[in-house]
Amino acid sequence: MSCKTIKKECFKRIVEDVKQIILNPLKDQNIHYVHDEDNFLNGYAMIIGPEDTPYQYGYYFFHFLFPEDYPYSPPVVKYLTNDGYTRFHPNFYRSGKCCLSILNTWKGEEWSSCLTITSILLTLSMVLTKNPLIHEPGIEEGSNDVQVYNEIIEFQNFNHSIRFVLKNKPYFFFTCIPNVTIDKEIFMEECKSHFDKNRKKILNYLESKANISKHELSFNIYNMYSNIIDYPNLYKLIKK
């Protein structure tokens, strides 16, 4: 969609939001955002998982589709770092749906026109917590399910959200978006730079896990019945 067909108020507000990100970048919080200048109602984000969580060092991608009445309605945000099987977070469905109250997709504080793209990015980052399963209603922190889920997600974070991303490039995850026009090198430089900077820590961590024999975990809550945890092989693959 060209800028000419977008309502003036919507166009103006998106420009203001993007300027806010340029003037107050979130890169020091490992949050990156690129707006699509050709299809102006589209935006693309990458959040690098916080340390000391199952998501540490992982690359998580999101697509923003803005409604024509923005900012009076929130954008539709789609989670893209899926492998087709793993439910990486209670709030991020395998279908790509993001359940957050500020997106009006979950109960709680609803979207307000005072909120911005930055507000959404920070919220997405904040849910990548140490024990993500407690975001699921009815789950308590002491539950055994919390630990099992953490173990599965941590492995798939290194296997899929790091190894697979670097092998196939971030652009791979955006190809599911209709009429995508972004640069095929989107976020690649940031991924490589971040990995190179943290390579030693990542490899040291994986090496400490490499003595854990290959095994299988079952997790019934999200129908994840068969999850192969194979750190010895993963360590070899990432070390290459």
Residues with a catalytic annotation lie at: 99
Strand, coil or helix: 129: coil
Strand, coil or helix: 233: helix
Region for residue 169 given its phi and psi (left: phi exceeds 0; alpha: psi -120 to 50; beta: otherwise): left
DSSP letter (8 states) at residue 74: P
Q: Find the helix or strand (DSSP H, E) in which 201 lies.
A: helix 188-209
Residue 123 to residue 119: CA distance in whole angstroms:
6
Structure tokens at 199: 């390579």
Radius of gyration of the CA atoms of the chain, in A: 18
CB of 29 closer than 8 Å to CB of 37: no
